[in-house]
Amino acid sequence: MKRIVVKVGSNVLTRDNGTLDTTRVSSLTDQIQALRKRGIEVILVTSGAVACGRSLAKAAPGLDEVQQRQLYAAVGQVRLMDQYYRLFADYGINVGQILTMKKNFEGTEEYNNQRNCMEGMLESGILPIVNENDAVSITELMFTDNDELSGLVATMMGADTLIILSNIDGIYNGDPSLEGSRVIERVSHEEDLSAYISAKHSSAGRGGMQTKYEMARRLAASGVRVIIANGKRDAVLLKLAEAPESIIHTEIR
Ligand code: GLU
């Protein structure tokens, strides 16, 4: 691994009551710091703004659903970045925030601008932290979810690996809730696992395994290795980097 994108889902970052899981954020910060120390360039794509904002603020009764989501995103994004800022600052690492939108990946100018910005940050030792600009990006302007966004960022930045951390261990060869189902360790993008994958969506975020898998397959076909693992497991990033056989996950090549 030389340059990686780590995507963390809302379910990993929030507790059951919806508040930000500061213990988890702290552990991920420690691990990202350790990866950087080993010379790996990391770009973090983080969800959790909307979930976090929802646990903090109460929208006025007259607001429609879209306005509520915008408000929660705006409030939650600050909370999220505040947490990352403080924890990385303890290691002397500066973080920078990139809020982006789908259309920024469609034209050349914005595309180049955001890439140059992140390249400059990496060169300067600053950790880019990316999320969708959820306060502005609504309905048809939105990415399918942050999994799609993380795939686009990995391609744009020429990352060799994308690690998607959610609250499940990987892609199962059957219904994950059934005994006997197990996580598929390695799969080629040429194989089609669609039949195994449930269409269920995440409870806190927008993503699901189906979109993760479709994106992972496309990305793997273009030469980026994709790893799907459980962000709630101890030292998941360190294990994936150092002893991948010691942690359950799915690798798509
Ligand atoms: N960008 C959204 C957030 O930060 C999450 C989108 C998703 O669930 O993938 O809350």
User: Strand, coil or helix: what is 71?
Assistant: helix
Ligand 1 neighbours, Cβ below 6 Å, are 10, 47-51, 131-132, 134, 145-146, 205-207
Nearest atom within ligand 1 for CA of residue 132: 1
Distance separating alpha carbons of residues 42 and 84, to the nearest angstrom: 14
Nearest atom within ligand 1 for CA of residue 47: 4
Residues 6+ away with beta carbon under 8 Å from 153: 5, 43, 45, 130, 159
Q: Which residues pair with 161 in a beta bridge?
A: 4, 225
Please tell me the pTM assigned to this model: 0.96
Hey, what domains does the chain have and what are their CATH numbers?
3-252 (3.40.1160.10)
- pLDDT at residue 207, rounded to an integer: 74
Residue to mutate, 7, 8, 131, ligand 1, most ligand atoms under 8 Å from C-beta: 131
Q: At what angle do helices 146-156 and 209-221 cross, to 10 degrees?
A: 10
Angle subtended at Cα 28 by Cα 24 and Cα 32, rounded to the nearest 5 degrees: 170
Distance 152 CA to ligand 1 centre (A): 15
Q: Count the Cβ atoms, other than its own, within 10 Å of residue 90.
A: 11
- pLDDT at residue 204, rounded to an integer: 73
Nearest atom within ligand 1 for CA of residue 73: 10
Nearest to 250 by CA among 179, 152, 162: 162
User: Strand, coil or helix: what is 225?
Assistant: strand
User: Strand, coil or helix: what is 79?
Assistant: helix
CB-based burial label for 44 (10 Å; 0-12, 13-18, 19+): buried
- pLDDT at residue 33, rounded to an integer: 98
Distance 180 CA to ligand 1 centre (A): 32
Nearest atom within ligand 1 for CA of residue 50: 10
Show pLDDT as tens, one digit a residue, over the chain (253 residues).
999 999 999 999 999 999 999 999 999 999 999 999 999 999 999 999 999 999 999 999 999 999 999 999 999 999 999 999 999 999 999 999 999 999 999 999 999 999 999 999 999 999 999 999 999 998 888 998 999 999 999 999 999 999 999 999 999 998 888 899 999 999 999 999 888 887 676 777 777 888 899 999 999 999 999 999 999 999 999 999 999 999 999 999 9
Q: Whose CA is nearest to atom 2 of ligand 1?
A: 47
- pLDDT at residue 199, rounded to an integer: 67
Distance separating alpha carbons of residues 253 and 224, to the nearest angstrom: 7
Q: Which residues pair with 42 in a beta bridge?
A: 4
Distance 143 CA to ligand 1 centre (A): 9
Distance separating alpha carbons of residues 73 and 89, to the nearest angstrom: 23
